[in-house]
Amino acid sequence: MAEMLDRPVALTIGTAGHVDHGKTTLVRRLTGTDTDRLEEEHRRGISIVPGYAELELPDGRRASLVDVPGHERFVKNMVAGSTGVDAFLLVVAADDGVMPQTREHLDVLRVLGVEQGVVALTKTDAVDGETIELAHLDVEELLESTGITAPIIHVSGATGEGEDELLVALDALAGVAGGRAGGLARLPVDRSFVLKGIGVVVTGTLWSGEIRTGDILHTTSGLRPRVRGIQNHGRPAEVANPGARTALDLSGVEASEIEPGDVLLSRPVPETRILDARLRLVEGASPLRHNVRVRLYHGTRSTNARVRLFDLAELAPGDDTLSRLTLEGPMVALPGDRFVLRSLSPQITIGGGMVLDPSPDGRNPDLEWLRALEKGDVARAVPLALARSPKNGMTVEELSLAVSASAEAAQNAATEAEKVTKLGDLFAVREEIQSARKRLTQALRKRGKGRPESPELTVAEARTALDLTPKLADALLASMAGNEVRVTDTGVSLPDADEAPPELEQSAAALLEELHRAGAEPPATEPTPALRLLLKRRDAVDLGNRMFAAREAVEAVLDEIKTVCREEGEISLSGFRDRLRTSRKYAQAWLEYSDTAGVTSRTGDVRVLTRRYR
């Protein structure tokens, strides 16, 4: 048993079938687990909420059994339990045969994309051979009408008849699972409560990825709970694998802050209220009109939605079409997710479909994009995903989610696409990046021509010139640094930006000579290109009040201030004016600059040296 627990769940199997056809009894027979955990379930003899049990297959692999309710009133919980399963175990009682919920459950499974499974014809110990044969034929007709091929095993939950044969048939289904390990961890929550001595506990079936003890998870409301402990099917574990029935002990969150229908994620994923999807109506449903309201079930969440049919006024039973669903409540949905639709009145399952684009742009669908997603054409979908938001690069993980493919497949497609380029860990549209390079170069040349003394752009100005999102702009700047541009702490410039025009150099030299001659009595002036060049090179200093002095004059005056303070302990305005043999205006300007430079500090009418210069 210990060795089995170390292995990931190979298959998630959802039971389906009419009420009182023996699903829970059969699951208890196969696993030893009573999945009816509520007092009301035992009192009424029916399942109300999904139950979960772990099954060891004949070859030692693990399967997770989801025992879903069969009563008509509990179809909502049946949908929640069935979402995310890989195969079905359809239970039909030999004394009843196919019943209404048998058909509806099979419809739910089909629209969820679950079309492989096994049929267990139960209660064979309670009827004669002719009745069993009639029930068998009834099931065959049902399967034939839906186009599903599945073995029909005669079993008895009471005596164990057919149990071994059923396990072998279930074991043969294990190969259909897979592809969910790695990537984004996603746990739709079906319960949240406080356990005495433990704290906040949430439960659900892990759809994808892995969750480990110590992981920080994310909710759509911005919470970041930490995983303190994990249980898989009621047993402590260090890691939760996809398909496993999982309970998480969380810290950093209150039980009231997480409720059924929420989703725990290994990284933030935005909610959506609009979905583009392939929608299919089940046989036997009434025609679906354009713009009709329905109830949409996805994972453990449900909400009303309005259906917009792209190219039809009405969808016929058994047909499918591209559609847009506007949700009345937000949810986390990703490409490839399955959902179920039920009519509002009467409340019956009418169809469902697969999410293609959970964040469509514009009023009209992008058919090329949707078809690439639907066909699983990753090579085509990746460039289209980037082109949909050309100014915003995407990481491999983001591309993987956008096109519903593995990270490896998304990276290979992006690397091989001619129209895609890579900057750091971001992929982007090559043409957009080339245009952004030109925009930045032109902006730098314009800046250099207009202000040759200060040809740099700040990083913020460079981002504006690139006209990309900050993360992509920074990645492009990093790739251009060195050869195409020079990036420093002060900004971005062209490699030859320090080479001022000859006429500007001449003006700057003449001005610097004038400042040298002025010494401690610098002239008041407006900043000119020549002066800004001197300031940039630190050959001149801004004293404030439109006064600028040569660097040598500044050093000489500050040294004089230090000398006076050290000799006399302090310096006054009048005393320094006499010392410099200048006017009050210049003496005051120098002392105020000395304070700004941190050489002196003012105390009343005098100034003293700061601790650094004493």
Please tell me the predicted confidence (pLDDT) of residue 48.
29
At 175 the pLDDT is 55
Q: With 60 as the cut, is the pLDDT of residue 265 above it? A: yes
Residue 9: predicted pLDDT: 62
Q: Which two tokens stand for residue 480?
A: 């251009």
Look at the alpha carbons of 240, 241, 242, 244 in this order and tell me if their dihedral is positive or negative. negative
Over residues 471-486, the pLDDT tens digits come to 999 999 999 998 888 8
238 SS3 class: coil
Please choose, from the candidates 247, 237, 245, the residue with its C-alpha nearest in 3D space to the C-alpha of residue 5.
Answer: 237
Provide the token pair at 58. 């004949």
Which pLDDT value is given to residue 151? 95
Please report the pLDDT score of residue 41 as a whole number.
29
pLDDT grade for 374, boundaries at 50, 70 and 90 = very high
The answer to whether residue 3 scores a pLDDT higher than 50 is no
Q: What is the model's pLDDT at position 68?
A: 61
Residue 323, strand partner residues = 277, 309
For the residues 194-215, what does the mean pLDDT come to? Answer: 88
Q: Which of 298, 393, 365 is nearest to 337 (CA)?
A: 298
pLDDT in tens, 425-456: 999 999 999 999 999 999 998 887 777 767 88
- Residue 266 is classified by DSSP as S
pLDDT for res 498: 62
Q: Decide if pLDDT at 243 tops 80.
A: no
Q: Is the pLDDT of residue 172 over 90?
A: no
Question: Which pLDDT band holds residue 5 (cuts at 50, 70, 90)?
Answer: very low
Residue range 497-521: average pLDDT? 82
Choice among 48-52, 126-130, 385-389 with the minimum mean pLDDT: 48-52
Grade residue 45 by pLDDT with cuts at 50, 70 and 90.
very low
Q: Which two tokens stand for residue 430?
A: 């090559």
**To the nearest whole number, what is the mean pLDDT of the chain?**
85
Measured CA to CA, the distance from residue 119 to residue 93 in angstroms comes to: 10
Band (491; pLDDT cuts 50, 70, 90): confident
Query: Please, which residues bridge with residue 235 across strands?
Result: 232
What's the average model confidence in pLDDT over 566-572?
A: 91
Per-residue burial over 583-604, b if 16 or more Cβ lie within 10 Å, else e, is eeebbebbbbbbeeeebbeeee
The 3-class SS string of 479-506 reads: HHECCCEEECCCCEECCCCCCCCHHHHH
Check: CB of residue 192 under 8 Å from CB of residue 225.
no
Please report the domains of the chain, with CATH numbers, ordered by start residue: 2-176 (3.40.50.300), 186-265 (2.40.30.10), 272-368 (2.40.30.10), 369-420 (no CATH), 513-613 (1.10.10.10)
Q: Which of 131-145, 183-197, 369-383 has the lowest mean pLDDT?
A: 183-197
Proportion of the chain above pLDDT 90, given as a percent: 50
pLDDT in tens, 47-102: 323 467 788 888 777 787 876 654 344 445 555 545 567 888 999 999 989 998 88
Residue 2 — pLDDT band, cuts 50, 70, 90?
Answer: very low
Report the pLDDT value the prediction gives residue 84, as an integer from 0 to 100.
Answer: 64
Given a contact cutoff of 8 angstroms between Cβ atoms, the answer to whether 357 and 275 are in contact is yes
The mean per-residue pLDDT over the stretch 357-364 comes to: 86
* Distance, first Cα to last Cα, the chain: 79
